[in-house]
A and B are shown apart, each in its own frame.
Chain A
Amino acid sequence: MAALCESFTLCGLGPSGGVGLDGGLLALEPGPDRDHVLLTDRGRTATLFKVSDQKPLGCWSAKHGQIITCPVVCNFETREYIAVHDDKVLRIWKNTDVNLDKVFKATLSADVYRIHSLPKGGPVVLFKGGGVRTLDVLLEAPQQEIENIISDEVIKWSEAFMEHQQPVLIFATEKNGDSFVYVQKLKMNYLHKYKLERQELSKALSFTAYIKNQIITLLCLSSNDSVYKFLIPLQQNTEKEEQILPRSLLLNLSVSGSVLKGTSFVVLDKDHIAVLGSLATAGEESKECLTIWNTKFQTLQTSKELPLGTSGQIWCYEKKFFFTHGKVLTVVMYKCETSSLAAAVGKLKDSQAPDVSSFVDWNTLGDEELVISFQSQQSVALKPESRMTLRSKKNTVAKVQPDTLSVGQLLLNLKDASTTVFENELRQVMSKGQMPDFQATIGCVVTALINRCKTNPKYYPRNFLLQIVQNQDLSYSLCPDLMVVALEKKDLHLLQICLQRFPDIPEEITYACLKAFLSISDAYLQRIDLNLESVICYLDIEFNDKEVKTEIVENGFSTELEQDIWETKITKKLHGTSDGESCPVGPQKAALLNAVLRSAYSETFLLPHLKNLPAQQAVLFLRYLYYLYVKCSEKINTTLPGTCPPTVNQIMDWLCLLLDAQFSVMVMLPEAKELLSKLHKFVRAQVRFYSELNKIEGSLQELQRLNHQKDPHTYSVEVLELI
């Protein structure tokens, strides 16, 4: 729950400050340290405050006749203050400077709209014509020409972020009631213009934005008492055309009959926003108040009446709201806890470290937030009305903004396109990356591919599918037909990767894969490219042994003679199929079977399918499992070497499952008899071995204890080097 705490007065305001929309302050910016704020009024004065002490630490004024036109900001790196007066004159000074007239001065060639200071990126200057420079660049040549990007639009709001150590500037402009948003990455020379989707008869009053995972979320307070959300992906191909950003309703500012006419607002955390405005109830006089809203549940969480009136501006730093109330600047602390079960039970302490940065650091939020935003995005996209409007606008919109076309429609359009065009388009869709519902999009793409495969039996984009499955986090349920088609086409490599990656393969498909793998001949498999990581280490052991042994033999013995003997032994080993020591299947098949062994399954659902496995294949599989089990048991830690081999538990589970399913067949089959008796003997030997170990456990422990006691190193002289 969110709550507003006691308020206190930071300072009184002069005649220029105070109530009313034209009054108020120019801006409030974070100071050089925590708990410090810089206040710039609409006249010629800037003051630095220590908030908790409610006292000013410094005050600077421009000369009479000059007006500070751009809020004073602090350069966090150099701890200098930067201001602009009379639109063009830049001033930079330090804490120790007293007279603003004597500090560094630079006259610029264009009017400055605002300066944004970023904690690690330095100050960025935004000009009224939309040009952006970092302060460093600007100071090198103050008179440099500044381009005008926005012609006759007027900047209403701007904000800056750091993204991957790069400053990103976003600003909103207005022209004839239309709102535009520009996103500019300074170091990349990246400028993108968007038009905001417009609501009839309403006007954007105030903006705020935050950045998370390369997506800027722009919130807009509209004059029809709603807050809208726009998502702006940062990783987009630079296309020249301007795009229209679709909006989604985040919050309606109405509560049981009364409507909040918001004037400005701030984002508190992933679920909360605070709105300053006047609450109008029908038949009553409207009251100005500060409110906190939960956007997740669309509820008003708390509010505070401000009877003396405000200037309609609000700032929020370090869990404190700042706004003018009557003739004073008031500070209200707030608590805002994530709505969680823990909070409901009362087990959550308000211990979150306050954020130092001026905007909320969305990267620290958990991923679940992202999921939620995806879901909300999806749900918006799926709303029937919005789809209908899209269709009605199709003709006009399709040309202007191909990006906003839903993937479904794109796929529909591409239905009859040629194979190469089709694949290219799909590749392009995927390369966009970081779309809000990327996962679902990929699912659609794969489904489209598979549908095409079904209709056109000759078409099978082997490499493309492989690439998608390898690079994206797909799951079976997103593209249910993929594995079926791969089975039909005998695309074993794709099947292997699917088995390794998909968490939700139905048992029926697992069984189908197993059966397919067992039935394919080793000769055929040898020609296929597969991932052999899981087998390479233990299947090669015999081979390695040979190498090592010949080396040893070379010391003083006739190599050739010995080698002959070894070779015969090895060939015998490899060909003696009855020998439990050698692998009954080739490495390719073993790799495929390992993929099956490692996949997730439920016994109850797998068992009925396993009963249908042909006897010969069952015996082969059992033989392979037995081989793996023996291999596992060779090592003291009962694990197979290599990357991602099946664990001993998986092997045992499959052994049991197979024997359960095929028991009657196995008993009847003569060739299985020997295998079963060997298996039985081996397991019995293991059980005996472990029970013997159990018996001497006490003695072993005692030995260990004695070892500790008789540690002879009670004294030694050692060399120690310290550098």
Chain B
Amino acid sequence: MGEFEVHRVRFFGLVPAGVRCLAWQPRGDRLGLARTDGTVEVYNFAANYFQEKVIPGHEARSVEALCWAGERLFGAGLNGEITEYDLAGLCVACSVDGCGGPIWSMAINSSGTQLAIGCDDGSVKLFQVVPGGIQFEQNLDRRKGRVLCLSWHPLETHIAAGSIDSFRVLDVCSGQTVQRIMVNYHVKKVKQECIVWSIAFLSSGTVVTSDSFGRVQFWDWEQGTLLDSHTVSNSAILSLAVSEKEDSIIVGTSAGATYQFQLLPVKLSSQEKRWIRTKPFHYHTHDVRAVAHSSTALISGGLDAQLVIRPLMEKMQDKGYEAALRKFTFPHRRLVSCAREARLLLFQFSQHLELWRLGSTNGTGKDGDVLPLSSMPEHLVQLKSKGPEHIYCSCVSPCGSWVAYATASRFHLYRVHYEDDSVRIEKIPKVSKLLLPAYQLQFSSDSSSLFIASARGSVHVVLLLEPGGCRHLHTLQPPSGSPEAVYLLALSADGRWLAAVSGDWAIHIYKLKRLKHHCTVPMYSCAVTAVAIHPVTNNLVIAYSDQQLFEFSIPEKQYTDWSRMVQKSGLHKVWLERDSPITHITFNPKNPSHILLHDTYMFCIIDKSLPLPDNSALLMNQCILKQLPESARQQQLHAFKICKKFQPLLFADLLDEKCLVMVERPIMDIKTQLPLPTQQKKFGT
């Protein structure tokens, strides 16, 4: 197979933002997630937990709460506005001022028609969800103290609102406070204020609160009495979520632990049931700010940027792979682009870009050797995006002389001149505003044109002009139209074909010479995570989030024989059980039978000329092969050549025939950049 010179890059200083809130949509099997930088993401659990939508953040738009109203997603934050997100267009659809100062909490009623917000001034306001937006409806009784958490009674008659030292129950019809309960009444250390961080209203009339003293308490709101109190930890309990059946509760603490409570009979087959703390989990190193409870799993998100999905064993029918714990730290799309010819890497951060030139070596060696460097990598340019908006996408052209990026409202194109040892960067003026929004950028291989993935299934084609300019040539659109944004692009090396993947998972192929729609790849019931067109055969290779691989011949408009063979014999079980999606596919022009691809935990070269491994064979057999003598290897060879040396892998690409670049981001490096956790249990303290 051969040896590669691997440029192992670890200087991409990406620090993912912490998870601020989660919203579970039971009917769509989707999870809404907001990060501390205002980014909103949607994970599709049915599509193997794929991060399906990402709406980049905004400096002034923090998100404190997320709610699903049917298929619509609402957020509210400290800027005092309630925002509806356009999930097809990946942008803010509309926002309405709550008129009560910063919004700390938001809750939706069980029928999904009314939103309640809790404001800094102590008011609780009701908004009606109407087509196209929301409408102010009613102000409920206002009391002193910010409203930090809200919960509707399932019958929509009352709202529980948690504040500092107390919580209230409000009658929705009259708008009056019908009960106010002090939560720090029993505590001696009354000098410290007790913050009710999270609240839940059960249909039985029980109100569950979690507070900064580390207690989970159950109250009878009508009597105003404490039914049960569990001191879970010394640190604050920041989040709480109840299962739909109201038989299980998950809480998250500031020490990074989560606990499950279950409603269990006191005695065997007895009618009397009590809430019992059952399972402790410790997956996070930092505060668990958000938890959610799906019907089969506990979901938690922490300030350590991790999303953890912990299936409940007793709820799983299948005890195998489905019941495995999932952890997600990195985005499911790539933030790195590579200029192959110029050997440049462009790193995308939330508000700036970094352009690096790779180092080089003259040495040679055998497997595992670290070669002496003849030149060090060079940080060429840092481009800071102006304004509060975060960057949607970015790209560097293969020759390295063009750099483009886009935010929600602006599109920037730069010409980069390399003169001796210095780099001069020139902004192209008067770039058309019509090109927005842009979700993905792709330069042609000869750097003569730029393709911009845009809203409603469209792709803009822009001609790049020397010495520095551009002209909008055409907009490609699917023949039947599409409401969804295009999020992936693939361009053939000869510039004849373009494949565009939109949010409805449809893959459209365009013929670029005539700027016409060529065909559509047959629909597959899972999200597309990566596409690429082979430079020699013009076959489109597609990776889906359920780990399936397809190869589609563009000229023949059908799946290739190899693809049919793969589907017939099936992929290896271990391959299908990987839990991170393939984020990038590339090819080796010198070896047309090779497909290079990677996910977060492995890099793989698929050699189509070799037989596929069956389930009895060892999928990751590189170690064994290396120990075998040359003659014995032949029988053990199979198509999947997997390397797990580089982890976590954010990007991998082929620079030339014998040269690879791998961009890693070790978890430890992220951990050291995170602030210290608020509270951490140390041995003996």
Contact = CB atoms under 8 A, between A and B. Distances in A.
Contacts of A708: 668-669, 672
Interface string A712-723: 011111111111
A705 B669 CA distance: 10
B377 to A, nearest CB: 5
Given A722-B622, A723-B622, A715 B3 contact: no
A679 B364 CA distance: 59
Contact of A723 (B371, B373, B641, B660): B641
A344 interface: yes
A349 interface: yes
A719 B371 contact: yes
Interface in B316-330: 316-319
Interface string B622-640: 1001100000010001000
A527 interface: no
A723 B1 CA distance: 5
A499 to B, nearest CB: 37
A351 interface: yes
A719 B367 contact: yes
Contact of B8 (A344, A345, A347, A717): A717
Contacts of A719: 3-6, 364-369, 371
Contacts of A713: 8, 10
B645 interface: yes
A717 to B, nearest CB: 5
A716 B9 CA distance: 7
B376 interface: yes
Minimum-distance CB pairs A-B, first 6: A721-B367, A723-B625, A714-B11, A722-B641, A714-B10, A717-B361
B434 interface: no
Nearest to B3: A721
Interface string B367-397: 1111101001100000000000000000000
B2 A715 contact: no
Interface string B1-33: 111111111110000000000000000000000
A237 interface: no
A709 interface: yes
Interface in B641-685: 641, 643, 645, 660, 668-669, 672
B267 to A, nearest CB: 10
| Residue among A349, A708, A716 having the largest count of chain B Cβ atoms under 10 Å | A716
A723 B626 contact: yes
Given A349-B314, A709-B672, A722-B641, A717 B371 contact: yes
B11 A717 contact: no
A723 B637 contact: yes
A718 B626 contact: no
Interface in B129-151: none
B365 to A, nearest CB: 5
| Residue among B315, B376, B668 having the largest count of chain A Cβ atoms under 10 Å | B668
A723 B633 contact: yes
Interface in B100-129: none
Interface of A: 344-345, 347, 349, 351, 705, 708-709, 711, 713-723
A718 B369 contact: yes
B11 A715 contact: yes
B50 to A, nearest CB: 26
A716 B370 contact: yes
B268 A721 contact: no
A14 B4 CA distance: 71
Contact of B268 (A345, A715, A716, A717): A345
Interface of B: 1-11, 268-269, 314-319, 359-361, 363-371, 373, 376-377, 605, 622, 625-626, 633, 637, 641, 643, 645, 660, 668-669, 672
A713 B377 CA distance: 12
A349 B361 CA distance: 60
Contact of A717 (B1, B7, B669): B7
A369 to B, nearest CB: 20
A722 B646 CA distance: 14
A715 B643 CA distance: 19
B8 to A, nearest CB: 5
B370 A718 contact: yes
A25 B473 CA distance: 76
DSSP class of B's interface residues: helix, strand, loop or mixed? mixed
Contacts of B369: 718-719
B633 to A, nearest CB: 6
B660 A721 contact: no
Nearest to A341: B268
A351 B317 contact: yes
Given A716-B371, A719-B4, 20 more contacts: A345-B268, A351-B319, A708-B669, A715-B7, A715-B9, A715-B373, A715-B376, A717-B7, A717-B361, A718-B368, A718-B370, A719-B364, A719-B366, A719-B371, A720-B4, A720-B6, A722-B4, A722-B641, A723-B1, A723-B626
A212 B371 CA distance: 59
B1 A722 contact: yes
B265 to A, nearest CB: 8
A722 B591 CA distance: 14
B359 A717 contact: yes
A410 B10 CA distance: 77
B562 to A, nearest CB: 20
Contacts of B645: 720
Nearest to B317: A351
B337 to A, nearest CB: 18
A698 B643 CA distance: 38
B465 to A, nearest CB: 36
Nearest to A350: B317
Contacts of B367: 719-721
Contacts of A344: 268-269
Contact of B5 (A349, A711, A715, A717): A717
Contacts of B10: 711, 713-715
Contacts of A722: 1-2, 4, 605, 622, 641, 643
A705 B672 contact: yes
Contact of B314 (A347, A705, A709, A717): A347
21 contacts: A349-B314, A349-B315, A705-B672, A711-B669, A713-B8, A714-B9, A714-B11, A716-B370, A717-B8, A717-B359, A718-B6, A718-B371, A719-B6, A719-B364, A719-B365, A719-B368, A720-B6, A720-B368, A720-B645, A721-B366, A723-B625
A6 to B, nearest CB: 20
Given A349-B317, A723-B1, A723-B637, A717 B672 contact: no
Contacts of A351: 316-319
A694 to B, nearest CB: 9
Given A709-B672, A715-B377, A716-B8, A721 B626 contact: yes
A719 B377 CA distance: 18
A713 B643 CA distance: 20
Contacts of B7: 715, 717
Contacts of A715: 7-11, 359, 373, 376-377
A722 B669 CA distance: 28
Contacts of A347: 314
Contacts of A723: 1, 622, 625-626, 633, 637, 641
Contacts of B370: 716-718
A717 B373 contact: yes
B195 to A, nearest CB: 31
A328 to B, nearest CB: 31
Contacts of A711: 10, 669
Nearest to A345: B268
A546 to B, nearest CB: 37
Contacts of B269: 344
A626 B11 CA distance: 54
Contact of B3 (A705, A714, A717, A720): A720
A603 B1 CA distance: 65
Contacts of B641: 722-723
B619 to A, nearest CB: 14
A605 B338 CA distance: 74
Contacts of A717: 5-8, 359-361, 363, 370-371, 373
